[in-house]
């Protein structure tokens, strides 16, 4: 037993990889680096993750749980602002979650975590005549805003980000009845 470095190598790998992710970005995130951070051979991670994608998917699923947590209980526009804040506070995690490197179809754990986070959004619109559509519109708006802010497309206009976000979200009304 003393030859085993970790009681929970899987958790140690995720922690190290999470650090590497935010510091260096997705591209620089390697299995070998995660193994190094955990103090094991470059091959040990394969006991816990089938391949590099499986590690990325686990990190992304963590991200969806973090996002769901950040949104929980927030009403109306505050929820949208919390969504944007999450993206800006965890830029690389957000990109990993939505960068399309991990097709949901191939990662059931990820699909599960994502739809759980999304469910909170749907519930908030359940009194509308068309809650699915309203929720999709609301999610699209805040997601697009977060992504474009992150990429710097609104840099020139967003001297004060919080004000800019509030104004954009405030400019939109969801119709009572879809066209």
Partner DNA sequence: ACCTGAACACCGTTCAAGT
Binding partner of 9, given a copy of itself, DNA, none, CB within 5-8 angstroms per partner class: DNA
| Residue 140 contacts residue 169 (beta carbons within 8 Å) | no
- Total Cβ atoms within 10 A of residue 36: 14
Report CA-CA distances (Å) from 135 to 30, 50, 152.
36, 35, 26
Which span sits near a copy of itself by CB under 8 A: 10-18, 33-41, 66-74, 96-104? Answer: 96-104
Q: Is 53 in the site for DNA (CB under 7 A)?
A: yes
Interaction mask 38-77, a copy of itself, x per CB under 8 A: ----------------------------------------
Q: What is the spatial distance between Cα 28 and Cα 35, in angstroms, rounded to a whole number?
A: 14
Quick one: which H or E segment has residue 64? helix 52-71
Q: Is 19 in the site for DNA (CB under 7 A)?
A: no
Q: Is 24 in the site for a copy of itself (CB under 8 A)?
A: no
Q: Is 23 in the site for DNA (CB under 7 A)?
A: no
Q: Is 159 in the site for a copy of itself (CB under 8 A)?
A: no
Task: Report the candidate in 71, 59, 89, 64 with the shortest Cα–Cα distance to residue 138.
Answer: 71
With CB under 7 A as the contact rule, the residue among 11, 19, 23, 46 that binds DNA is: 46
């Amino acid at each position: 037993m003393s030859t085993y470095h970790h009681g929970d190598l899987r958790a140690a790998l995720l922690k190290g990889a999470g650090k590497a992710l935010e510091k260096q970005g997705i591209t620089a995130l390697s299995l070998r680096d995660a193994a190094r951070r955990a103090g094991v051979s470059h091959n040990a991670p394969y006991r816990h993750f089938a391949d590099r994608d499986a590690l990325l998917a686990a990190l992304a699923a963590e991200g969806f749980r973090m996002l769901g947590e950040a949104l929980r209980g927030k009403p109306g526009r505050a929820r949208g602002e919390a969504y944007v804040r999450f993206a800006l506070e965890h830029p690389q995690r957000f990109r990993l979650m939505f960068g399309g490197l991990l097709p949901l179809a191939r990662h059931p754990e990820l699909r599960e975590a994502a739809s759980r986070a999304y469910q909170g959004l749907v519930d908030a619109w359940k009194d509308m005549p068309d809650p699915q559509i309203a929720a999709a519109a609301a999610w699209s708006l805040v997601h697009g805003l977060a992504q474009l802010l992150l990429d710097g497309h609104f840099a020139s206009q967003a001297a004060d980000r919080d004000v800019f976000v509030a104004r954009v979200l405030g400019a939109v009304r969801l119709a009572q009845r879809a066209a």
